[in-house]
Structure 1
Amino acid sequence: MTVILLRHGRSTSNTAHTLAGRTEGVELDDKGRAQADAIVERVDGLPIKALVRSPLLRCRLTLEPLSAALGLEPVVDDRIAEVDYGQWTGRALKDLVKEPLWSVVQHQPSAAVFPEGEGLAQVQARAVAAVREHDRRLAEEHGADALWVACTHGDIIKAVIADALGTHLDSFQRITADPASMSVIRYTPIRPFVIHVNHTGGQLASVLSAPPPTESTDTGDNAVVGGSMD
């Protein structure tokens, strides 16, 4: 199974340089709406079988054009909602950088717990569990090589990618997930394969052209020694 982790388009909070968190009613700005429309063409030709999204408005608005184009109704999953930043929610980033916790978030995120909110280790656990559960469910429904989209938030995507890479959560700030970016992970019974990170260009099919390893190849679900067979 292969998941496309789609970050929502640019929001009004992004341009205001505030931490939206779970604030209700955060819209996409003009660029964000254009990014949402462009997603349809960016995934054109890909056999997407299902859509899953965060319950927040900016993710709903991001997926609406693709949902209409594919005729698929997104499944809403609270486990891939934005981080509960607690008392940090809605505050300006220029003020948050002065908080002692900011340095912890940057350098040891596994130890970061937001005041009256949740910890980033907890966030990773719930998000990874959600992605892997949907992946298993969709494999049963559509077959092992089905493709699906999860529309969520930057820190959620970075946490899931870190897990797939087998790297510690304390390294997840080295991963980038820009607005409307797509990152691709293929899950197999043995291990995940991170196929692409932070794709913001044209058609995603261009980076998914190589067939994934299958049981019919000599390598099965193993990585190819020496790199790709192409």
Structure 2
Amino acid sequence: MSIYVIRHAEKQKGDFHHQGLKFNDQPITQSGIASARRLVDFFSSLDIEFIYISEYLRTQQTIAYVAEAKALVPVVDNRLNEIDIGCIEEMTDGQIQEQYPSFWDSYHTRDHEFRMPGGETGEEAEKRIRSLFDSLDRTKNYILATHEGLTRILLCSVLGLPAYRRHLFTIDYASITVFDFLPEFNCWTVPKVNMVV
């Protein structure tokens, strides 16, 4: 079994608010579309049985060409949404530092768990993504199209690191991180991290 976790492709700048979603719902750029098209070649010879995406347009657009080539309909699952950053999405660093100094210090120290102001902790986001990850059939291959922070948190979880150490990983746009399950050892390996096609 392999799970291919893909960060969405490059997203457009600007305000793209969607009434049903908490955060900005940007579409991907032309460069992002090109990256999404390159994913088709990578997955062409791989047997993928299911594709899961977050609620955000950018994950849908990133995997659309692969889904079409595989004749699969992506399943929307809000457990793949990015970590909830609460009320700081449109704040400047100065505003965050002034209004939430304790969070600011914790965010930069990264030596203990912390909560995004009005949002989630890394541990809460980890429980959310693991509830999906651990429910998948270990005899099938999957694609999960998600976001940078959540991919980092999943890496920490599988490797036994606390979620607040997620800054240790770089996850580029449209990159692939692979998780392979080894039944003989009942454990996961991570053969590829942040692979850009």
- TM-score, with length taken from structure 2: 0.85
Query: Per-residue deviation at 1:159?
Result: 0.6
Task: Provide the C-alpha distance between the structure 2 equivalents of 1:96 and 1:10, rounded to a whole number of angstroms.
Answer: 25
**Which runs of structure 2 are paired with 1:1-230 in the superposition (5 Å)?**
1-13=1-13, 22-92=22-92, 100=101, 101-108=103-110, 111-133=113-135, 135-136=136-137, 139=138, 144=139, 146-188=140-182, 190-201=186-197
Seen in structure 2, the aligned counterparts of structure 1 residues 64 and 175 have a Cα distance that, compared at 3 Å, is same
Seen in structure 2, the aligned counterparts of structure 1 residues 110 and 128 have a Cα distance that, compared at 3 Å, is farther
Task: Provide the C-alpha distance between the structure 2 equivalents of 1:154 and 1:128, rounded to a whole number of angstroms.
Answer: 15
* Cα deviation digits, residues 98-145 of structure 1 (max 9, x gap): 763244234327522122212121011111121111x23xx3xxxx2x
Would the aligned equivalents of 1:96 and 1:102 in 2 still touch at CA under 8 Å?
A: yes
Task: Provide the C-alpha distance between the structure 2 equivalents of 1:35 and 1:81, rounded to a whole number of angstroms.
Answer: 21
Q: Percent identity among equivalent residues?
A: 22
Seen in structure 2, the aligned counterparts of structure 1 residues 68 and 110 have a Cα distance that, compared at 3 Å, is farther
What amino acid does structure 2 have at the position aligned with 1:52? Y
Seen in structure 2, the aligned counterparts of structure 1 residues 27 and 167 have a Cα distance that, compared at 3 Å, is same
Seen in structure 2, the aligned counterparts of structure 1 residues 159 and 71 have a Cα distance that, compared at 3 Å, is same
Query: Per-residue deviation at 1:95?
Result: 5.9
Q: How many residues align?
A: 187
Larger of the two Rg values belongs to structure:
1
2:17 corresponds to: none
1:214 corresponds to: none
1:208 corresponds to: none
Task: Provide the C-alpha distance between the structure 2 equivalents of 1:92 and 1:73, rounded to a whole number of angstroms.
Answer: 38
